[in-house]
Structure 1
Amino acid sequence: MKKIIVIVLALTMVGCGTVKTVGRDNYAVGSALMREGSYCNNMPRVYSGVAYNVCKMNSKPKNFGNIILACTVVDSMFSVVLDTAVLPITLYTQSKYGNFELREHIRS
C-alpha cells in the first residue's frame, strides 16, 4: 500500500504547477502554457502553482477534458500546500521581478 501512495504522489509531483513555476523564467513558464493552449497573458509568482493550473484550465478544449480537469484540480490541492511552503521565495521574486509575462517570448 505504501508503494502505491508513493507512486501516486510521485506522478502528481511530475505535473505539479509549483514545481513547473518556482525558479523558472518567463520564457520557460510561457512556453509550457503555450503548449497547453492557454489564453493567459501573465500570472503572479506568488501561489504560482495554483495560478499555473488556472491558466491550464483557461485553455483550448482538449479530448479527455474531464480527466484533465480532475487531475488539474487534484494537482491544485497539492500546489496550494507547496506554494505556501515556498511563499518566502515567491514573495521575494514577485517584488523583484513582478508577474510572469507569459507572452514575452512571442515578441522576441
Structure 2
Amino acid sequence: MKELWTGMALAMALSGCGTVRTMTDESKAVDDLAKWQTSCHTIPRAYSGVFYQFCNLNSPPRTGPHWATFPILLDMAASGIVDTLVLPYTGYQQYRQGNVPIRRLEY
C-alpha cells in the first residue's frame, strides 16, 4: 500500500501543475483561469487537471516558455493519467459539490 501512495505522489509531482494545481488550491487555479481570460465558465472536479489545461489552451495567447502549446499538451496527457488514479476521490467530490465556477474578476 505504501508503494501505491508513493507512486501516486511521484506521478502527481511529475505531472506538472494541472492536477496538482486544481486539487491543492482550487480557488487559485480558477482565479488563474479567470486572469488568463479563458472561455471556460466552469471546470469539473473529475479530470480537473485535464480541463484546467484545456481551459488554459482556450484563452488568448500569452508569451513565455510555459505558455507554449506543446508543454501544455504534455501536461494534459500526464494529468489525464493522474486524474484517472484519483478519480474515486474527484468523482465523489463532483457528485457532492458539482463543477468549480470560474469567477470573473477584474484584473
Residues 48-99 of structure 1: CA deviation (Å, up to 9, x unaligned): 110001000000112358x610000000111011000100110111011100
Query: Structure 2: which 5+ runs fail to align?
Result: 1-10
After TM superposition, list the pairs within 5 Å mapping 1:64-75 onto structure 2.
Answer: 68-75=68-75
Residue 86 of structure 2 is matched in structure 1 by: 86
CA distance in 1, matches of 2:19, 2:92: 16
CA distance in 2, matches of 1:56, 1:75: 11
CA RMSD of aligned residues (A): 2.7
| TM-score, scaled to structure 1 | 0.73
| TM-score, scaled to structure 2 | 0.74
Identity rate, percent: 34
Residue 18 of structure 2 is matched in structure 1 by: 17
Query: Structure 1: which 5+ runs fail to align?
Result: 1-8
Letter in 1 for 2:62: K
SS in 2 for 1:37: coil
Residues 24-49 of structure 1: CA deviation (Å, up to 9, x unaligned): 44x32211212333221101111111
Is the contact made by 1:17 and 1:79 (CA closer than 8 Å) also made in structure 2?
Answer: yes
